[in-house]
Amino acid sequence: MGNLPKHITIIMDGNGRWAKQRGKERIYGHFEGAESVRACCELAVEMGIEYLSLYAFSTENWNRPKEEVAGLMKLMAKSILEERPTFEKNNIRFMVLGDRSMLSDDLIADIDNAMEETSGNTGLTLIVFLSYSGKWDLEQAASRYALDFKDGKTDIKLEDYLCTAGIPDPDLLIRTSGEQRISNYMLWQCAYTEFYFTETLWPDFRKPELRLAIETYSSRERRFGKTGEQIK
């Protein structure tokens, strides 16, 4: 394969429909989706991808039925606890980004423990976006930027205030389940990201599907505003 993406990000969509097709509750689809997360992490590690980030729960997802929200938060806590040995084994640095003010203290403690424990790992950086939205990120960045600017700091860049500061922008964004929209995800960071949409529902998106997305990315030409001749 040619150019590998340094940062792959995935909008993991279609869990509810996957469950519905099988006559099951939506939460069943979320649990099966967690298996896809495991598979995609494994392939990312095998291929030496540097950053894999996953949109797990948006600011807007708080408006879902209470039971589904509670189930998703439980699944998040369970996955973090269960995956910690895998993080160590595979040298994965684990991060969770998003609006923490909405999360329970217990979940925040679990997240912080896993983040601290893996902070020195040097392999794949795995980022879970939880209670995140692009507009939230831009707003919190702008407020902090404004405070610093008022304090006399003028040599500052907005992107250094986003919660993704220090993380390279995604090269490849994958969205499953046939939807072709960004749903308030990394609005700033996706300025030059390559998009890949697939009909596959998230619980069915495993290693072969991820490999195909990466292969498709590798065959594209990114121009960043220049002409095709300039980048040859």
Active site residues: 13, 61
- What, of Mg ion, ligand IPE, none, does residue 98 touch, CB below 5 to 8 Å by kind? none
227 to each of 169, 196, 219, 230, how far by Cα in Å?
22, 22, 17, 5
- Residue number with the smallest Cβ distance to Mg ion: 13
Comparing CB distances to ligand IPE, the nearer of 164 and 177 is: 177
> Rounded to the nearest whole angstrom, what is the least distance from the CB of residue 33 to ligand IPE in the complex?
7
Specify the pairing of strand 172-175 against strand 125-132: unpaired
Question: Residue 55, class by beta-carbon neighbours within 10 Å (0-12 exposed, 13-18 middle, 19+ buried)?
Answer: buried
Distance (Å, whole) CA 23 – CA 20 = 5
**Token representation of residue 52:** 């894999």
Residues near Mg ion (CB under 5 A): 13
**Token representation of residue 19:** 């469950």
The phi and psi torsions of 142 (rounded to 5 degrees) equal: -65, -40
> Rounded to the nearest whole angstrom, what is the least distance from the CB of residue 229 to ligand IPE in the complex?
38
Comparing CB distances to ligand IPE, the nearer of 181 and 223 is: 181
Comparing CB distances to ligand IPE, the nearer of 5 and 14 is: 14
Residues near ligand IPE (CB under 6 A): 11-17, 55-58, 61, 72, 177, 179, 181, 183, 202
